[in-house]
């Protein structure tokens, strides 16, 4: 069980996340929603252990993850928001690097790498540098790297970014499948539709605060039209969307 208790994070005094309380159980898929700068990625990085909270505790089965960070990180698979990869490495070299750092035995690693690349349709690009890969192909490599060691916690930050329709559908099924195997899954995204279909529960962040934390069904029930988009707009969108769009269209004309 993954707990975030009164977690806050400040960057040089500027708050990024304030008093966040979450509990994520095994087999649960938690969606993290929020506008740009709402604190989504900071939350995700604190869950992964890349950032230490300024206040509060992130704990795994009751123990602070920073007390046993290395062993905790062995349980985590992470797909970062930006597909930042060593562009001069090939797909195989990159996955070997990650697998080696994970201390996965060579034979097992080779077998898994071959299988992932085959399933993601990248078996013909084994020796092509990652700099030549499209965004979607890079995302597939990141997903493979996150799954290589069969993680207990899978953290996906904008996992749909650049993926084609078929790959997005595969990802959604994969998330459901992994959840049914008892994995904890955190799914952070801007794509409301993807979150609605993939997640059981949703936390909505707005200006560093949690403004909603409930199941997708209950959040939908709170609105008239019964969509997550409307629920999100009611708690996390301050702007007059139509007016801003009209103003944008007229900037270069006037």
Partner 1 sequence: MTAPAVLQEWRQFRILARDSVRKLLNSSMLARDADPMQFALWATTLVATPPALYAFGQLFKYSTLRSAPAQVIEQVITADRMFFVVYSLIAAALLASMTWDALYPDRDEQELIGALPVRPRTATAARLCAAVGVATGFALAINFPSALVFALVSVSHPVAGVLPVVLVAHLVATTTGCVTAFAVLLAVRGVVALVFGSAVTDRFATVLQLVTIVAVVEVFFYLPSILPRLVQLTMTGEGVALWLPSTWFGALYSGLAGPRHAVYLGEAVLGVIVLAGTLIALVPLYLLPSRLMARRALESQPGGGRRVWYTTVVRPTLSLMSGTAPGLSVAMFALTSLVRSRRHMLVVVSYVGIGVAFALVQVIAAGLRGGLQLETPGRALLAAPLAMMFFTVIGLRAAFRIPREIEANWPFRLYSPGVIEAASGTHAALCVAGIAPILALVLIGTQAAGWSVVATAEVTVFNLLAGLFLLECGLYGWSLIPFACVRPEGHEAMQTRWLAASGPCIFFVFGGASLQLAGLRSARFAAALCVAVLALTVVVRSARRARARREAIPFEPAGRLELLNLSEAGQ
Among 21, 25, 68, 87, binds partner 1 (CB under 8 A): 87
Judged by CB under 8 A, the number of residues near partner 1 is 43
Among 6, 21, 37, 82, binds partner 1 (CB under 8 A): 82
Q: Could you give the dihedral angle defined by the CA atoms of residues 32, 36, 38 and 41, in that order, rounded to the nearest 10 degrees?
A: 60
H-type alpha helices, 130-227:
135-147, 165-180, 192-198, 216-221
- Which is nearer to partner 1, 58 or 195 (by Cβ)? 58
Task: For residue 120, state whether it binds partner 1 (rule: CB under 8 A).
Answer: no
The beta strands (E) that lie in 61-177 are given as 63-64, 76-79, 153-157
SS3 164: coil
Among 5, 26, 35, 50, binds partner 1 (CB under 8 A): 50
Tell me the per-residue interface mask from 214 to 243 with partner 1, x by CB under 8 A, - otherwise. ------------------------------
- Residue 200 CB, nearest approach to partner 1 (Å): 26
Among 21, 68, 123, 132, binds partner 1 (CB under 8 A): 132
Contact 37, 192 (CB under 8 A): no
Sheet with 2-11: strands ordered across: 14-24, 2-11, 55-60, 63-64
- Which is nearer to partner 1, 142 or 216 (by Cβ)? 142
Contact 220, 237 (CB under 8 A): no
Contact 38, 205 (CB under 8 A): yes
For partner 1, the binding residues (CB under 8 A) are: 8, 10-13, 48-50, 54-55, 70, 73-74, 76, 78, 80, 82, 84-90, 92-93, 96-106, 127-129, 131-132, 145
């Amino acid at each position: 069980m993954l707990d975030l208790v009164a977690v806050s994070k400040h960057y040089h005094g500027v708050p990024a996340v304030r008093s966040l309380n979450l509990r994520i159980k095994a087999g649960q898929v938690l969606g993290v929603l929020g506008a740009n700068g709402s604190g989504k990625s900071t939350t995700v990085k604190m869950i992964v252990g890349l950032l230490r909270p300024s206040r509060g505790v992130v704990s795994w089965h009751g123990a602070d993850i920073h007390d046993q960070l290395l062993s905790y990180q062995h349980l985590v698979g992470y797909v970062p928001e930006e597909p930042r990869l060593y562009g001069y490495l090939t797909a195989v070299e990159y996955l070997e690097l990650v697998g080696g750092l994970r201390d996965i035995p060579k034979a097992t690693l080779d077998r898994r790498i071959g299988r992932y690349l085959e399933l993601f349709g990248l078996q013909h690009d084994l020796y092509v540098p990652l700099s030549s890969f499209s965004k979607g192909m890079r995302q597939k490599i990141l997903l493979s790297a996150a799954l290589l060691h069969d993680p207990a916690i899978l953290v996906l930050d904008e996992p749909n970014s650049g993926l084609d329709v078929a790959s997005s559908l595969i990802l959604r099924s994969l998330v459901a499948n992994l959840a049914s195997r008892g994995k904890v899954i955190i799914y952070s995204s801007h794509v409301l539709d993807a979150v609605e279909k993939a997640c059981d529960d949703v936390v909505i962040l707005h200006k560093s605060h949690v403004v909603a934390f409930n199941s997708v069904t209950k959040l939908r029930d709170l609105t008239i039209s019964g969509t997550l988009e409307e629920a999100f707009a009611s708690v996390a969108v301050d702007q007059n969307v139509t007016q801003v769009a009209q103003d944008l269209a007229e900037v270069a004309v006037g």
